[in-house]
Amino acid sequence: MAKTVLVVDDDPTQRRLIQAVLEREGFAVAHAESGDRAIERLGFGAPVDVVLLDLVMPGISGQETLVEMRARGFPQPVIVVTATGGIDTVVQAMQAGAMDFFIKPAAPERILVSIRNALSMGALKGEVDRLKKHASGRTSFSDLIGASPAMTLVKRLGERAAKSAIPILITGESGVGKEVIARAVHGSSERAGKPFVAVNCGAIPENLVESILFGHEKGSFTGATDKHLGKFQEANGGTLFLDEVGELPLDVQVKLLRALQESEIDPVGGKRAIKVDVRIVSATNRDLSLAVKEGRFREDLYYRLNVFPIEAPALRDRREDVPALVDAFVKRFNVEEGKSVVGATPETIACLAAFDWPGNVRQLENAVYRAIVLADAPYLQPHDFPAISGVSPPIQAAEPVLASFAALPAAVGQMIPDMPSAVPVRILDERGHLRTLEEIERDLIQLAIEIYAGHMSEVARRLGIGRSTLYRKVREQGLEDVIKGGHDEAVEDADAQVA
Q: What is the pLDDT along the chain (499 residues), one digit of tens a residue?
A: 678 999 999 888 888 888 988 888 888 899 999 999 999 888 887 788 899 998 888 888 888 999 999 888 888 899 988 876 567 777 888 888 888 888 887 888 888 888 888 888 877 777 888 888 888 888 999 999 999 999 999 999 999 999 998 999 999 999 999 999 999 999 999 999 999 999 999 999 888 899 999 988 887 777 777 888 899 999 999 999 999 999 999 999 999 999 999 999 988 888 888 999 999 999 999 999 999 999 999 999 999 999 999 999 999 999 999 999 999 999 999 888 888 888 899 999 999 999 999 999 999 999 999 999 998 888 899 999 999 988 887 765 444 444 444 444 444 444 444 444 444 556 766 666 677 888 888 888 888 888 877 788 888 888 888 888 888 888 888 877 766 544 444 344 444 444 4
Nearest to 412, CA basis, from 403, 399, 425, 400: 425
Query: What pLDDT sits at residue 422?
Result: 42
Residues 424, 442, single domain; the answer is yes
Residue 395 lies in a domain: no
Question: 146, 115, 101: which is closest to 19 by C-alpha?
Answer: 115
Q: What is the pLDDT of residue 306?
A: 95
406 within a domain of the structure (yes/no): yes
Closest CA to 373 of 326, 334, 331, 345: 334
Q: Are 350 and 305 in contact (CB under 8 A)?
A: no
Q: Which of 389, 415, 435 is the last residue of a domain?
A: 389
CA distance 279 to 137: 14
What is the C-alpha to C-alpha distance for residues 397 and 394, in angstroms, rounded to an integer?
9
Q: Identify the pLDDT of residue 155.
A: 96
Residue 35: inside a domain, yes or no? yes
417 φ, ψ to 5°? -60, -35
- Please check whether residues 300 and 330 belong to one and the same domain: no
CATH number of the domain to which 189 belongs: 3.40.50.300
Q: Considering the domain boundaries, does residue 477 fall inside one?
A: yes
Backbone angles phi, psi at 48, to 5 degrees: -140, 125
Q: How far apart are the C-alpha atoms of 385 and 393, rounded to whole Å?
A: 9
- In this structure, the answer to whether residues 431 and 365 fall within a common structural domain is no
Please report whether residue 394 resides in a domain. no
Q: Is the pTM of this model over 0.85?
A: no
Considering the domain architecture, whether residues 234 and 290 belong to the same structural domain is answered as yes
Judge whether 456 and 467 are in contact, CB under 8 Å.
yes
Residue 261 and residue 200 share a domain: yes
**Looking at residue 430, what is its pLDDT?**
65
Q: Which of 3, 4, 11, 53 is nearest to 497 (CA)?
A: 11
Q: Please tell me whether residues 308 and 322 are part of one structural domain.
A: no
Give the other-Cβ count within 10 Å of 410's Cβ.
Answer: 10
For strands 264-265 and 274-275, give the pairing: antiparallel
266 and 219 housed in the same domain: yes
Q: Is the peptide bond before 105 cis (omega within 30 degrees of 0)?
A: yes
If asked whether residues 160 and 174 sit together in one domain, one would say yes
When divided into structural domains, the chain yields a total of: 4
Half-sphere exposure of 488 (CA within 13 A, CB side): 19
Q: Is residue 280 part of a domain?
A: yes
Of 339, 363, 389, which closes a domain?
A: 389
Distance of CA 475 to the CA centre of its chain: 42
Q: What is the CATH number of the domain that holds 110?
A: 3.40.50.2300
Mention every residue, 6+ apart, whose C-beta is less than 8 A from residue 290: none
Q: Residue 367 is part of a domain; what is its CATH number?
A: 1.10.8.60
What radius of gyration do the chain's Cα atoms show?
A: 31
Do 272 and 151 belong to one domain?
yes
Distance CA 65, CA 78 (A): 11
Q: Are 307 and 339 members of one domain?
A: no
User: SS3 letters for the chain?
Assistant: CCCEEEEECCCHHHHHHHHHHHHCCCCEEEEECCHHHHHHHHHCCCCCCEEEEECCCCCCCHHHHHHHHHHCCCCCCEEEEECCCCHHHHHHHHHCCCCEEEECCCCHHHHHHHHHHHHHHHHHHHHHHHHHHHHHCCCCHHHCCCCCHHHHHHHHHHHHHHCCCCCEEEECCCCCCHHHHHHHHHHCCCCCCCCEEEEEHHHCCHHHHHHHHHCECCCCCCCCCCCECCHHHHCCCCEEEEECHHHCCHHHHHHHHHHHHHCEECCECCCCCEECCCEEEEEECCCHHHHHHCCCCCHHHHHHHCCEEEECCCHHHCHHHHHHHHHHHHHHHHHHHCCCCCEECHHHHHHHHHCCCCCHHHHHHHHHHHHHHHCCCCEECHHHCHHHHCCCCCCCCCCCCHHHHHHHHHHHHHHCCCCCCCCCCCCECCCCCECCHHHHHHHHHHHHHHHCCCCHHHHHHHHCCCHHHHHHHHHHHCCHHHCCCCCCHHHHHHHHHHC
Cα–Cα distance measured from residue 421 to residue 297, given in angstroms and rounded to the nearest whole number: 83
Name the residue range of residue 148's domain.
141-313
Residues pairing with 343 in the sheet: 379
Instruction: Give me the pLDDT at residue 232, please.
Output: 94
Give the count of beta carbons closer than 10 Å to the beta carbon of residue 345: 19
**145 within domain boundaries:** yes
pLDDT of residue 425: 59
Could you tell me if 283 and 374 lie in one domain? no
Q: What pLDDT score does 106 carry?
A: 81
Q: Give the model's pLDDT for residue 352.
A: 96
**210 and 292, same domain (yes or no):** yes
Q: Is residue 188 part of a domain?
A: yes
| Domain final residue pick, 338, 361, 389 | 389
